Copies of this chain bind each other. A is one copy, B any other.
Amino acid sequence: MDLCFLSASEIVDKIKKNEISAVQVAKSLIQRINLLEKKVKAFIYFDKEYFLKKAKDSDDWRLSGKSLGPLHGLPVAIKDIFKTKDMPTYFGTSIRENYLEEEESDVTKLLIKAGAIIMGKTVTTELAYFDAGKTTNPHDYLRTPGGSSSGSAAAVAAYMVPISIGTQTAGSVIRPASYCGITAIKPTYGIISRKGCLQQSFLLDQIGIFSRNIEDLSMCSSILSKDNINNDLKIKEPKFIFLKTSKWDNIEKEAKKLFENFINKISKNIIKIENPKFLEKAYDYQKIIQETDMAHNFSYFYEKYKEKIGKKLIEAINRGLNYKAKEYAIAVENMNLIYNQLTDTLGNFDSIITPATTGFAPKGLDFTGSPEFCSIWTYLGMPTINLPLIQNSERLPLGIQLVGRKYDDKNLLKNANWLFKKHKIN
């Protein structure tokens, strides 16, 4: 059996039942990494000896009969912007002097406490913005995996790890998940602690999880979240709203056709709503906040290493430095206003359904793709999930994005499970 193809839930379950060991899992993943990492380049740091040792420790613990955490023996890959004591943390830039951290991020702490093994650090774009890292798309090495959580998405898609952690400030979880053809969740703003994670934007940064099915997302969310997202995924027939935003026309022709075909398949569960005008400004508001916050949070890099920083980041910070406080204040205030207007307008619904990206993974590695189908949901702090339910003739994936009500991640997971079980591509 190729253990690398098991899901996170299956691994946890089989280890608990003593059917497999953490070392066996680690060995299978290492084999897979040996096979593919040269092409995929998902990791910025991976030490197989460390991984094997941690797996051995985990097995010893289990065999001694001590009580096991809910993720005992599960390997998890972590985006390179989370601080980890045992591994370097580069934030996707070579200019960082103190990349050996004394601090363990809250996310990795919670995972370790639950029994998981932090198996490596994955490639991020530079400071989690748009300047790409080395990672490629496992479906086509000449295409971008998306960003900024490039390595976390690609590693899971390439079966080099069952589950991984990323972050999203515009579209950095859902977009790479869509391009790489895996499931991912970005829970409601604020319900996962960001302590020990690089801060790009206080008002926008949100942590996400990548895996290859909804059970895994649910299991890991419940470990990381302050709220109680439990594992109950009982299915009830959901009511989806297909929201055509003002960005709808930016979708690529083939993606549009395939998405509309998909929508037709579930038409009895769908209501369509055309371009609610009040949503339009949310794109600008997200941008004002993100760019201002980068100007503030990255001032050290900007001032000291300007010539060594990517062009896209420099341009964004330059814009960020020039906004007026009043513009920012309006953007902040509208977070709540627009959310309230949206839920009032949509009335009784379970999830919003939209394509996750404007198309399939773009060719080339420099451009990580457009986050425009994700960024307003990040701005509004709503939980979103990517489901890899569309494929083109070249077998490139495209994600269906579900967007839930704030603090109702539980229902969103149920809706996603309903759709995923029914329309999974085999």
A residues engaging B (CB < 8 A)? 202-203, 288-289, 292-293, 295-296, 320-321, 323-330, 332-333, 336
Most buried by B among A288, A320, A329, A336: A329
Q: Which residues of B contact A332 (CB under 8 A)?
A: 202-203, 328, 332
Q: What CA separation (Å) do A326 and B317 show in the bound complex?
A: 11
Name, among A293, A295, A324, A326, the residue most crowded by chain B CB atoms within 10 Å (CB to CB): A326
Residues of B within 8 Å of A288, CB to CB, are: 325
User: Could you tell me the dominant secondary structure of chain A's interface residues?
Assistant: helix
Chain B residues with CB under 8 Å of A292's CB are: 325-326, 328-329
> Which residues of B are found within 8 Å of A336, using beta-carbon distances?
202
Separation of A328 and B329 alpha carbons in the complex (Å): 7
B324–A202 CB distance below 8 A? no
| Contact indicator A324/B321 (Cβ below 8 Å) | yes
A-B contact pairs, 10 of them (CB 8 A): A203-B329, A288-B325, A289-B329, A292-B326, A295-B325, A321-B326, A325-B325, A325-B327, A325-B328, A332-B332
Q: Copies per complex? A: 2
A329 contact from B202, B326, B333, Cβ within 8 A:
B202
* Least CB separation from A299: chain B residue: B326
Nearest chain B CB to A282's CB is how many angstroms away?
16
The reply to whether B202 and A293 form a contact with Cβ atoms under 8 Å apart is no
- A293 and B324 contacting across the interface, CB-CB below 8 Å: no
Residues on B with C-beta less than 8 A from A295 are: 325-326
CB-nearest residue of chain B to A328: B325
- Is B320 a contact partner of A325 (Cβ separation < 8 A)? yes
Provide the residues of chain B in CB contact with A202, threshold 8 Å.
Answer: 329, 332-333, 336
Please name all residues of chain B whose beta carbon is closer than 8 Å to the beta carbon of A333 when the two chains form the complex.
202-203, 296
Q: Give the Cβ gap from A102 to chain B, nearest Cβ, in Å.
A: 19
Additional A-B contacts beyond A288-B325, A296-B329, A328-B329 (11; CB < 8 A):
A202-B329, A202-B332, A292-B328, A293-B329, A295-B326, A323-B324, A323-B325, A323-B326, A324-B325, A325-B325, A328-B332
| Bound form: Cα–Cα A332–B296 in Å | 12
Kindly state the separation between the CA atoms of A3 and B201 in the bound complex, as whole angstroms: 56
The residue in chain B whose Cβ has the minimal distance to the Cβ of A327 is B325
Shortest distance in angstroms between A391's beta carbon and chain B's nearest beta carbon? 41
Residues of B within 8 A of A320 (CB): 325-326
Taking a contact as CB atoms closer than 8 A, the residue among B203, B289, B324, B330 that contacts A324 in the complex is B324
Least CB separation from A195: chain B residue: B340
Q: Which residue of B lies closest to A321 (CB)?
A: B326
- Complex Cα distance A292/B292, Å? 15
Residues of B within 8 A of A296 (CB): 326, 329-330, 333
In the assembled complex, the Cα of A292 lies from the Cα of B332 at a distance in Å of 12
A231 to B295, CA, bound (A): 48
Chain B residue numbers with a CB within 8 Å of A203 are 329, 332-333
Given the complex of chains A and B, what is the CA–CA distance between A185 and B336 in angstroms? 25
Q: State the Cβ distance, A335 to closest chain B Cβ, in Å.
A: 9
Give the Cβ gap from A169 to chain B, nearest Cβ, in Å: 13
- The closest CB in chain B to the CB of A203 belongs to B332
A289: which B residues are within 8 A, CB to CB? 329
Could you say which residues of chain B place their CB within 8 Å of the CB of A325? 288, 292, 295, 320, 323-325, 327-328
Q: Which of A293, A324, A327 has the most C-beta atoms of chain B within 10 angstroms of its own C-beta?
A: A324
Q: How far is the CA of A296 from the CA of B329 in the complex (A)?
A: 8
Q: How far is the CA of A321 from the CA of B329 in the complex (A)?
A: 11
